[in-house]
Amino acid sequence: MSNQQEPLEDQLHSFHQSLSAVLASSPVDNTASQLMERSNTQDADVDHVDVEEYGISTGTVFRNPPVAVLYEQALKNEAGSSITSTGALVVRSGAKTGRSPKDKRIVDEPSTNEDVWWGPVNIKLSEHSFLVNRERAIDYLNTQNTLYVFDGFAGWDPDYRIKIRVITSRAYHCLFMNNMLIRPTKEELLHFGEPDYVIYNAGCFPANRFTEGMTSATSVALHFGRREMVILGTQYAGEMKKGVLTIMMYLMLKLDVLPMHASANEDPRTGKVSVFFGLSGTGKTTLSADPRRSLIGDDEHVWTDRGVFNVEGGCYAKCIDLSHESEPEIFDAVRFGAVVENAVFSEHDRVIDYHDISITENTRTAYPLEYIPNCKIPAVAGHPEHVIMLTCDAFGVLPPVSKLSSAQAMYHFISGYTAKVAGTEVGITEPQAVFSSCFGEPFLVWHPAQYAQKLAERLATYNADAWLINTGWVSGSYGQGRRCPLKYTRAIIDAIHDGALAEDKVEYEEQEIFGLRIPKEVPGVPRELLNPINAWADTQAYKTTARKLAALFIDNFKKYQDKADAEVVACNPSLD
């Protein structure tokens, strides 16, 4: 390792030591796990690990087994597992087909108590209740004849990556994390040593609802002091993925770098990077999967003093209505090694029906990053030139593209706005605003303003431009207007990347109420669509709807403005 990297390593090591303080003083043995003696075959891929230090003693433990072995185990032991026509493994996650954010808990302990943004996102759990749940998980794992351990990394930059160990009773979970974490080489696995965090996935077994702090039979609990996560009462594998993201959202900001729930891609000719923030349905995955650009990652990244790196070793994509015509890269990634959750397929030919949502609308597939033809490995790149915030505004008020000042970028980053439309959920008859701070509120640990401040610092230091892109409705709200055609949104993204929207190349005008700066011209996009007030047939109806949405923004921001700078609060829409 070069001398240039050593200060960062020392910083990370020091931080891990501080996090370990509580754990070191606990009765849990903290010594590094030892690999079981390998067989005489040097190339043996199926290995075992000693899990007795965690209080687990069971018959067979697979450590980082090959994909084929996990297929065999799932098909043999896990009901609902089948091989599809393309070779992917389709599985069932039980009653839970999505995350359970209301059952997520953070342990209130001394080393992190003053850092955590406590409230409905980060609900406190006592040390005692965590240990009760941990013991319950260990007891369940001890009843199993076979367990699966996956050791992998979170973070492609070796100076910031952390070592994750997953212990689970399901082969499906092991294969999922094999795809989502960064897979170690044989040499790295041999010298893996003690993990930084351990995930005990006993999701097949419920939590005790009478344990203090439990509100259901599901519990997803994270203890930063012990560096442990315990899962009970849900077999949905996404809890592990987002648990790792939550860990990174805490640790990386602690190290003065910016963790991001965002996708990123790179121009392979110039090395220029763009980052895409956006909630579900905004087009984040579609727009970042540009065949002319290299995909760095589709969901989780960190922006350091050297550039950006992907946290993950794979992708986790929604499958609803997936087709080769709409998203060929993702469609072709559903092959041997990929996991497809809760999908319906033909019993005759094993072809998946991506339009069938009889099990859930949240059908998903997890596959290694290298299954995407134009991915970049190692998934590390330079500093972003553009930060693009995506929203699907069903009110039709926000412009298809606007350029943000630093303060506006912080404001819209903290707000994290998109909208639900009528028909998506029972009882929704008109557009409903959805706000998720930093475009990933369920995974935040610190107050949103602290992530926003770090983003503003990064934008200023590396001279990056920030943009707000509305992939939602134009010429009217949902029901009157139409969704912005994808070809126009792609033309906007191309114009940003080509420099066609630079200040010296195009004139801007300011939108009323929201104060957004709108380019008067974008190649390939009708001019009348760029400013919503010009696109609506009924100007008065536009102003009424704009004021309605503005009031929702203002009301939402009240819960953040106590820790936001005055300049950011001033970016609230104006109703004067």
Q: Which residues are catalytic, by number?
A: 99, 242, 261, 280, 284-285, 299, 364
SS3 125: strand
Cis peptide before 120 (omega within 30 of 0): no
Q: Which residue has the tokens 């993990």?
A: 195
Contact 249, 445 (CB under 8 A): yes
Inter-axis angle of helices 448-461 and 238-254, to 10 degrees? 60
3-state SS record for 287-350:
HHCCCCCEEEECCEEEECCCCEEECCCEEEEECCCCCCCCCHHHHHHCCCCCEEECCEECCCCC
Contact 412, 468 (CB under 8 A): yes
Residue 69: how many CA atoms within 13 Å on its side-chain side? 16
Contact 540, 532 (CB under 8 A): no
- In order, the DSSP letters of 255-273 are TTSEEEEEEEEE-TTT--E
Distance CA 91, CA 300 (A): 24
Tokens of 327: 């998203």
Q: Where are the beta strands (DSSP E) in 489-568?
A: 508-510, 517-519
- The runs of H, that is alpha helices, within 462-535 are 486-498, 527-530, 532-535
Contact 365, 339 (CB under 8 A): yes
Residue of 261, 226, 264, 257 lying closest to 246 (CA atoms): 261
SS3 286: helix
Q: Which residues pair with 386 in a beta bridge?
A: 274, 465
Judged by phi (left if over 0) then psi (alpha if -120 to 50, else beta), residue 388 lies in beta
Angle at 455 between CA 443 and CA 152, to 5 degrees: 45
Distance CA 311, CA 38 (A): 30
Q: Which residues pair with 517 in a beta bridge?
A: 403, 510
Backbone angles phi, psi at 489, to 5 degrees: -65, -40
Distance CA 360, CA 366 (A): 16
Q: Which residues pair with 148 in a beta bridge?
A: 62, 168
Backbone angles phi, psi at 161, to 5 degrees: -70, 150
